[in-house]
Structure 1
Amino acid sequence: MRGFATLLDRLAYTPARNDKLRLMADYFAATPDPERGWALAVLTGSLSLRLPFRRIMTEMIEGRIDPVLFKLSRDYVGDTAETLALLWPGPEADAQTEPPPLETIVEELSQANAGEAADLVSAWLDRLDAVERWALLKLITGALRVGVSARLAKTALAEWSGQKLDDIEEVWHGLAPPYPQLFGWLAGEAPKPNVEEMPIFRPLMLSHAIEDDELDAIAADAFQAEWKWDGIRVQLSTMAGEHRLFSRTGDDISGAFPDVFEGLPENCVLDGELLVMREGEVQPFNDLQQRLNRKTVTANMLKTYPAHIRLYDILYDDGEDVRALSLEERRTRLEAWYARHGPARADLSETLEFDDIAELKQLWENARETGIEGLMLKRRASPYLSGRPKGHWYKWKRAPLTLDAVVMYAQRGSGKRSSYYSDYTFGAWRPSDDGGEELVPVGKSYFGFTDAELQELDRWVRNHTVDRFGPVRQVEPKLVFEVAFDSVHPSTRHKSGVAMRFPRVHRIRWDKPADEADRLETLVKMIEG
């Protein structure tokens, strides 16, 4: 546990990617099994203890820490685990304590109920110093916030072992924590785990945003064009009697979308876009969002937001790996596969004909009118290569929409930003009941500005606060953001009646008076369809 706590602490204060990789690689090399395996599970979000830890932590706080002190401290620190770790009365200065190994923590919590878990965690916290307490609480809640993604942790495994990252990705979903087979192979002590007949994730082939000179070089006979649909990229895998649906990063999202497996045959791996469809029409991304990030879904949700996959590619056809074939050959295989099976919750992505760049540009310009995100351009001769190989696939997204909105509320961020007001809610004007105008929230964003701009924004928030609601500050309606976003959709969940897709701060309009910002009706007119 002590080595893991040190690793997390150093990762939290290490901003550079390569330095984070080095820290993790050194840890994996020096730490024995199964400690490093459980650490890897925590870093990749693969450890699920299935206990109500928010409730457990609340009970622990009530027994040891004044609740008013905790609330005030949590507001200042910005992170529950860090606040609790700092306030918890630790061991006496001369006490000789040894933290429990990760294996013990996982094993005992896995067998405990909520009441027993609270007692276990409290007893462990009594034995640990502040950094170890923080690491333990991060472990059990799963909210690390140390700047490490699952892919970065796997990249560290590749750097330490010398194995290819793609090979690690391909075996990952066939293994379980604490990964003894994986570490045996990576350490050179065992063969590569055999997971070929399992429904595992195969790394996706990704695209580059097209540049002007690359666009001019596109030839109709060498490239295939398709619409870029506004859903999420997924991979369907059906092997050994199991069906899995993976996100583009390899997360298993099968539980949230059981309906997409209807009518799927065995022994195939398919690449496509997950959408919500009604009566043959693609619905707004906001509808799909109702089902994302859920472990399970209700019957009503399945009916209200029916899932559908628009197929782009085929990787395995009747158990045969066809990734080495050209896109043209794979498309022929995909069409034949679809003609044989025609699953109810899937269809084929349309290929678009064009003779020259002028026709291609016309297709792109028409994308917004038809509610489509843009175009995909794929070299016909491309094999299916993992990652983002240069010169094969391009995305040509339509230009973003923009709106001048007024900052209404600010909240502290997390991790490195926990001391700064970095999360901003902004609004648009609409007529008020008294005959004047009022601001109504239309979106929230926490990125799109530099570190220097963040410091300036933080000072502005502190100097223009007019009210407080817990951790949220209401500010004077004087600052305008030019907000960029991909699209806007009707929403019953928001007071304004609309929801932005991917809002981000495009520019800070220090120069613009707030009363000249946009009206809600301007945003409503941007709703497609």
Structure 2
Amino acid sequence: MKAFAELLDRLVLTPQRNAKIRLLADYFREAGDPSRGYALAAIAGTLSLNTVKPQLIRDLLLERMDEVLFRYSYDYVGDLAETVSLVWEPPQERVAADIPLGEVVERLQMAGRSEVRSLVRDTLDQLDTSGRFAFLKLVTGGLRIGVSARLAKQALAEMGGKDVSEIETLWHGLTPPYLPLFLWLSGEADMPVLKTPAVFHAVMLATPVGEGDLEGLDPADFAAEWKWDGIRVQLANIGGVRRLYSRSGDEISGAFPEILEAAGFTGVIDGELLVGGTARSNQATGTFADLQQRLNRKTVNRKMLEDYPAFIRGYDILFSGERDIRSEPFQARRQALAALIDAASPQHFDLSPLVPFSTWEELDRLRANPPDPVIEGVMLKRLNSPYVAGRAKGPWFKWKREPFNIDAVLMYAQRGHGKRSSYYSDFTFGVWTESDGQTVLVPVGKAYFGFTDAELEILDRFVRDNTVERFGPVRAVRAEPEAGFVVEVAFEGLNRSTRHKSGVAMRFPRIARLRADKLPRDADRLETLLAMIEEKALR
């Protein structure tokens, strides 16, 4: 665990992307099997463990520590794993040992439910402070070290001198601890051959249009499509094996059985998963809030299938039949995709329409006023571009609509994780409305990004100086018409929601500006947000 703990510490303190890749690559070269494979799985989010609930960890600590002292310590440190790792006192006869990460993981995987408690206690007794911290982060599934699965794959590519697209092709056909993968990367074996052909292929991503990005580019070299507000998916049917994946490669087949059943073609397509009706069925497309009713479910019942019918709006095609056509230009792939969808079920598949335009100014006007409220912008695709994994700047751009903005009042705050564990960085904000004849704040969203480090210092200080009530880890802050903190919140969309007290749900909210120039009484009202929904519905 010592090498893994040191890796986590250094990754947290290393902000540069390339430096993180070098740290990971060095670790993967030097660590033995199966420890490096389990470390990779933990970082990439593919490790399956008998996860340990935070309450169990608290209970174990309180066997050896006064509860009041623990609460004060936890409140000061702000992170449970860090607190426990610092204050845990092993029996005097125990000497700290360096247990291999692979051994720790395999112990947990083999442990029965009744054995987990004693296993966690014994492991904490054997490890030193940094090892305990790494172990607790591992078993609670809360690494949060600023490393994505994609970055970990880049590190594997650097370690083995391979192209990251080769690793992406293999990724979903292999399982932890990835022994065949590391043997290939180390030059000790050939590239693994996958047993199941219908695996996920890394998607091609678009670069957001920034200032000046379109200058000098000829509009005639690009095709434009609407950017729909669903989720990006990849549907594969190869060798009779059908799979539906999210953009990140998570399999979501169980939640959308009708899509798999309707996939009578052979190939791999890329598209947007939406609910409602396809353009070919002449029914309205549902909102992202409607789609959320189907997401994150292992199975769905008949009523769910009837109320929220799902379909795929095709963007691209990777395999036509069993032939890989990713190297062909976009125009050729588009023709192949159109032919496939034309022969597919009209209730479950349609083709993303092209947006005619001749100048960037014309496209900008169309982007600002799309024909459907479910559209959140346009996609630009160079006509001769191959389908390349990752986010290469130039072939594809996304040009989203300008975000919505409101002024809201901070209501609640909670500490963050990782580097932010000592700061209040997760914020709930609200707007004014009338209730029982009184003007009150009602929460409308949460945000934990958008602000700079300097602004975080200001927000954290306000929370500490203005806490009026505590609910476990949550702090309620002063929020009155004449006293409080106003923030400008930007968000991509807004829908009605029965799950929220306010009746609205924001899409991708973030704090855009701190409004020290405004009093809370000047913040927006719930009626303003409801009017935005009505305006969107009338478009």
Please report the TM-score for the alignment, with normalisation by the length of structure 1.
Answer: 0.93
* Partner in structure 2 of residue 87 of structure 1: 87
2: CA distance between counterparts of 1:516 and 1:79? 35
Q: Does 1:318 align with 2:318?
A: no
Q: Which amino acid aligns with 1:367?
A: P
* Partner in structure 2 of residue 22 of structure 1: 22
Q: Which amino acid aligns with 2:108?
A: L
Q: CA deviation at 1:368?
A: 7.3
Q: Which stretches in structure 2 are left out of the alignment for 5+ residues?
A: none
What SS does structure 2 have at the residue aligned with 1:312? Answer: strand
**Residues 18 and 360 of structure 1: CA distance in aligned 2, closer, same or farther (over 3 Å):** closer
* Partner in structure 2 of residue 169 of structure 1: 168
**Residues 97 and 354 of structure 1: CA distance in aligned 2, closer, same or farther (over 3 Å):** closer
- Residues 418-437 of structure 1 mapped to structure 2, 5 A cutoff: 418-433=421-436, 435-437=437-439
Of 382-391 and 368-377, deviating more is: 368-377
Q: Does 1:521 align with 2:527?
A: yes
1: CA distance between counterparts of 2:380 and 2:167? 29
Q: CA deviation at 1:227?
A: 0.8
Q: Does 1:112 align with 2:104?
A: no
Q: CA deviation at 1:103?
A: 2.9
* Partner in structure 2 of residue 254 of structure 1: 253
Given that 1:218 and 1:357 are in contact with CA atoms closer than 8 Å, whether structure 2 keeps it comes out as no
CA deviations 1:231-278 (Å, max 9, x no partner) are: 121211222332222222333333443332122136411100122225
Q: Which amino acid aligns with 2:441?
A: L
Q: CA deviation at 1:300?
A: 4.9
* Partner in structure 2 of residue 464 of structure 1: 466
Q: CA deviation at 1:423?
A: 1.4
Match of 1:289 among 268, 274, 292: 292
What SS does structure 2 have at the residue aligned with 1:119? Answer: helix
* Partner in structure 1 of residue 181 of structure 2: 182
What SS does structure 2 have at the residue aligned with 1:375? Answer: strand
Given that 1:264 and 1:343 are in contact with CA atoms closer than 8 Å, whether structure 2 keeps it comes out as no
1: CA distance between counterparts of 2:299 and 2:72? 36
* Partner in structure 2 of residue 38 of structure 1: 38
2: CA distance between counterparts of 1:334 and 1:458? 51
What SS does structure 2 have at the residue aligned with 1:526? Answer: helix
1: CA distance between counterparts of 2:303 and 2:9? 44
* Partner in structure 2 of residue 74 of structure 1: 74
What SS does structure 2 have at the residue aligned with 1:424? Answer: strand
Superposition RMSD on alpha carbons, in Å? 2.4
Q: Which amino acid aligns with 1:455?
A: E
2: CA distance between counterparts of 1:148 and 1:330? 33
What SS does structure 1 have at the residue aligned with 2:375? Answer: coil
* Partner in structure 1 of residue 505 of structure 2: 499
Q: Does 1:9 align with 2:9?
A: yes
**Residues 370 and 13 of structure 1: CA distance in aligned 2, closer, same or farther (over 3 Å):** closer
1: CA distance between counterparts of 2:68 and 2:301? 39
Of 330-339 and 81-90, deviating more is: 81-90
Please report the TM-score for the alignment, with normalisation by the length of structure 2.
Answer: 0.91
Given that 2:97 and 2:128 are in contact with CA atoms closer than 8 Å, whether structure 1 keeps it comes out as no
Given that 2:94 and 2:125 are in contact with CA atoms closer than 8 Å, whether structure 1 keeps it comes out as no
2: CA distance between counterparts of 1:266 and 1:182? 31
1: CA distance between counterparts of 2:163 and 2:530? 49
- Residues 260-339 of structure 1 mapped to structure 2, 5 A cutoff: 260-265=259-264, 267-277=266-276, 280-297=283-300, 300-339=303-342
2: CA distance between counterparts of 1:123 and 1:301? 46
Q: Which stretches in structure 1 are left out of the alignment for 5+ residues?
A: none
CA deviations 1:48-84 (Å, max 9, x no partner) are: 1245644643553454444444444333333232233
Runs of 4 or more above 6 Å deviation: none
Q: CA deviation at 1:217?
A: 5.2
* Partner in structure 2 of residue 231 of structure 1: 230
Q: How many residues align?
A: 527
**Residues 429 and 159 of structure 1: CA distance in aligned 2, closer, same or farther (over 3 Å):** same
Given that 1:423 and 1:446 are in contact with CA atoms closer than 8 Å, whether structure 2 keeps it comes out as yes
Of 291-300 and 360-369, deviating more is: 291-300
